[in-house]
Amino acid sequence: GNSSMVLIVNGVKIFVRGSSLVPFHSFPGRMTAAAAVRLLQSTVAANMNSLRVWGGGDYLPPAFYDLADEAGILLMHDFMLTWYPGNPYPADPIFLQRIADEVEQKVVELERHPSIVMWNGNNEDQCSRYDPARSDSCTGVNWYRNCSQVYADCISVYINTVLATAAKWTAI
């Protein structure tokens, strides 16, 4: 089958050619504007038109988004909600409110950037691996959690909180 990715932006189909962007440095404060310029210049020089901002890293400095806008690079931006198998986020109401607050803050802060064409819920599609309806699900769950509860928590975190909050501020 065809494994190409096409985005439709303002009614125009765009064939996506890009890469994942992981943190520039293990110490976020050491990411410089010069490094962002080099990265975006390299992206353009490599004939790429998109970058995925990895959800296991950190939000980037404002200058990065300004430069991506100027370079015409499409950003598919994860929320910084990576979790690893067996250690999913709880659907605790206080924690869910913190997630909703972060989603709202980042979407409102970055909404002026035309380079952000897609927001993604998290780093990976972790919820499907715990779907009790799948025969191959329930891998990697800690002994103290069951698949049904982990799946319900995933839906609560990513659909009922992240997606619902982002939808208030974007045209999802």
Residue 94 CA to residue 47 CA, distance in Å, equals: 44
The question of whether 124 is a catalytic residue gets the answer yes
The encoded tokens of residue 49 equal 């038109």
CB distance 129 to 158 below 8 Å: no
CB distance 127 to 155 below 8 Å: yes
Which residue, 165, 172, 154, 152, is CA-closest to 97? 165
Which residue, 61, 95, 99, is CA-closest to 80? 99
In the chain, which ranges are E strands?
Answer: 6-9, 12-15, 18-21, 50-53, 74-78, 116-120
Tell me which of 104, 109, 111, 124 is the catalytic residue.
124
- DSSP reduced 3-state for 88: coil
Active-site annotation, residues? 124
